Amino acid sequence: MAEFESNYEQSSRSAQNKSQAIVDRLVFAALKEQTRARRWRIFFMSFFVIYLSVVTVVLMSGPGKGFASGNASDSEKHTALVRLDGIIAAGEAAGSENVIRGLKAAFEHINTAAVVLEINSPGGSPVQSAYIFDEIRRLREKHESTPIYAVVSDIAASGGYFVAAAADKIYVNPSSLVGSIGVRMDAFGFVEMMKKLGIERRLLVAGENKGLLDPFLPEHAAQKAHLQAMLNEVHANFITAVKQGRGERLSQSDELFSGLIWSGEKALSLGLVDAYGTTRSIARELEAETIVDFTPKTRLLDRIAERVGASFGKSISASLLGNLKIQ
């Protein structure tokens, strides 16, 4: 009996020892895993701090709202370049505030032989385009000895051409797209779909025309006539600007202001442009081959803030008027 109890105690102690060993291994593994996870957290936190520091330094020491490539020498005459690239809209790189800032700096530099506005734009806001057009004419009058030329790369349509028309001369490639002198407003109508789905539109307004262009209501004849008259007024302003800028160089074609778009080759025969050429070829002709880029460059944080503000404004504008564009 005593021998049996001794064996039992030994077996029990052996089992306890094994259990303790298992527990010890589990605890050690857990501690090891926690240590590894802590090291990775420290690594990623350190990496993030370093990355954030580098970005901050770049933003603080970057060019800000200065100008891009090229150095404006104190003695050498240069050709000043300003780029208008993309949709012409408030808050965008091709918005009036940005482009006008570059144009002013280009005209005001003492060694600017000529200003080249390089355009690659399908159009955009009629108001923003008119702002740039008017400012070009003002700066040209103020700086009488400094010509401004527009160079079209891929496209200068609608608002893009509106702006180009203010230049002394417009240069294109034979395959550039030019024109689209017209105005459009986009909207959709879902009235029949609503009927098929059995959905009733309930709209409360203060002001009988406040539901203008509501896509879920039938088209209103008087409202449509009002909008068409408004588009015609904007179109007339566009036509007036083009005639002021181009003068007698324009042909008498009936299709000139119909909204059609043409190749650079056809635009040349219509008097919409003056010659084939590039920024580089103009600089050579001027004997001012150094090209200094005066296109403003905004900081990253500024661009984000501007984009958020512009997106908010566009949402409100779209909900009220749809998309009004000179195209």
Please list the active-site residues: 158, 210
Distance between CA atoms of 91 and 49, rounded to whole angstroms?
31
DSSP 208-246: TTTTTT-TTSPPPHHHHHHHHHHHHHHHHHHHHHHHHHH
- Nearest alpha-carbon partner for 83 in 65, 95, 71, 91: 95
Distance between CA atoms of 151 and 140, rounded to whole angstroms?
17
**DSSP classification of residue 28:** H
- Nearest alpha-carbon partner for 134 in 161, 110, 162: 162
Q: Provide the token pair at 53.
A: 């520091």
Angle formed at CA 63 by CA 70 and CA 288, multiple of 5 degrees: 15
CA distances from 125 to 96, 164, 165, 182, 327 (A): 10, 15, 16, 12, 9
For residue 96, the tally of other CB atoms under 10 A from its CB is 24
